[in-house]
Amino acid sequence: MPSTILDSAVFRDIFTTPAMRGVWSDENRVQKYLDFEAALARAQGKLGIIPTNAAAEIVRHCSADKIDMAKLKEATEKIGYPVLPVVQQLVKMCKGTLGEWSHWGATTQDITDTATILQIREALDIVEKEIAGIGDALAKLAKKYRDTPMAGRSNLQQAVPITFGYKMATLLGAFERHKQRLKELRPRVLVGEFGGAAGTLSSLGKDGLKCQAELMKQLKLGQPDISWHTVRDRIAEVGCFLGLVTSTCGKIAFDVKLLMQTEVEEVYEPFHQGRGSSSTMPQKRNPISSVYITAQTAMVKQLVAALLEAMVEDHERATGPWEIEWIALPEIFMLSAGALAQTRFVLEGLQVNEKKMRANLDITNGLIMSEAVMMGLGAAMGRNRAHDVVYDICREVVKTGRPLVDLLAEDKEISKHASRKQLEKMVNPANYLGVAGEMVDRVLKMRKK
């Protein structure tokens, strides 16, 4: 009976995705154990470490659908780990005593860790596709709204004008960096484990490293320079990477929620009938995906902290911290997949209200342009003097509600240096966008490279 958000029949495809749930399923985990056993048998048969007929017989039975999951559950509860019960079933399936050559020279953690790396490889392929989709959506928005003025905000207050394309391009830049991080971490993370009892491959003698090399070749994984049973930076790194990626998703969700406020209304999440409705307030159109993303990303960060805790392990084989990874890592990947999918959905269907963006630039009666005026007058009046004069006029705008341009034009000192026409140009948001457009172009150009 499902009892958590990630396996709930109601919520599971909101908080994660079927594809990612499949990667971390019991069936796929057991198959990865058997993939290891099959690859080990092939490697050792090729090198003459075990009989070739034993290797062939072992490989023939390395399919998860042949494993009795009920017996595996019962044996795991007795033994404490699932690998030995899987191997025991494998041995019994093989003819005669040929199965006794399975798992030759390996230890439980070798299989568990390498299986986890194989799952991570599958999971990162899913993550990569979602990152690419988000990047495409952000690039489309950045290009389309390159020159669409809106209020830039600092401490939740209007600061100076920016463009919506610029806002999207800043996020696109982050996802391009995430793509680069993923490319860089794969060779470090996708490395198998095969060290035996304490990591020294002592049970295989002089054949240890040759066997290890052939095993990793079979699995298409990197060969470790030295065993890493209790040195867990590879697992922690991939967790931290997902913490970075989902935190960017969280930033997007936060901004969308703020921009959807009734008083702002500059963007909206994608809409279909009934989405975001309230049970008691018919007028409501609540953010939905952004709310889920907020919860998902918060939990990922907490679980990443648990992975970092799991790095502190004792001696050559750990007493507990290792098991933290069993709990945290699948949930990190599943919640990350959910956050990425929700973020992609929001961005691909984002509704942008250009008119409201422009109207919101006027709600301060021109105060958002005070820096532009100060800089425009600074050359003639001196920056400090221009600041003080414009500051006093801004206070008057707040007090009276009159437009900034009117009070500027009425000021005798300012009128000596700027005409009404010049002042109107200074307070036009479209004239104070800096190099926002060029920055958008640069991000888009770098992305193509």
Do residues 181 and 322 both lie within one domain? yes
204 domain residue, yes or no: no
> Which residues span the domain enclosing 186?
118-194+220-354
Structural domain ending residue among the three candidates 300, 333, 354: 354
The secondary structure of 329-347 as a DSSP string is HHHHHHHHHHHHHHHHHHH
Mean pLDDT of 280-308: 91
Split at pLDDT 50, 70, 90, the class of 274 is low
Average pLDDT of the chain is 95
Share of the chain above pLDDT 90, in %: 91
How far apart (Å, rounded) are the C-alpha atoms in residues 385 and 390?
A: 9
Structural domain ending residue among the three candidates 336, 354, 372: 354
pLDDT in tens, 325-375: 999 999 999 999 999 999 999 999 999 999 999 999 999 999 999 999 999
Residue 78, SS3 per DSSP: helix
Do residues 340 and 380 both lie within one domain? no
Number of domains in the chain: 2
How far apart (Å, rounded) are the C-alpha atoms in residues 336 and 297?
A: 7
Please give the C-alpha separations between residue 78 and each of 33, 85, 92, 106, in angstroms, as whole numbers: 19, 10, 19, 21
51 domain residue, yes or no: no
pLDDT of residue 278: 62
pLDDT of residue 125: 98
Structural domain ending residue among the three candidates 304, 324, 354: 354
- Is the pTM higher than 0.75? The answer reads yes
Do residues 263 and 388 both lie within one domain? no
325 alpha carbon, distance to own chain's centre: 18
45 domain residue, yes or no: no
Do residues 296 and 400 both lie within one domain? no
Query: Half-sphere exposure of 152 toward its Cβ, with a 13 Å CA cutoff?
Result: 19
Which of 385, 390, 358 is closest to 373 using CA atoms? 390
**Which amino acid appears at position 131 of this protein?**
I
In the predicted model, is pLDDT for residue 282 greater than 80? no
Mean pLDDT of 252-273: 94
Mean pLDDT of 219-225: 98
In the predicted model, is pLDDT for residue 245 greater than 80? yes
| DSSP category for residue 47 | T
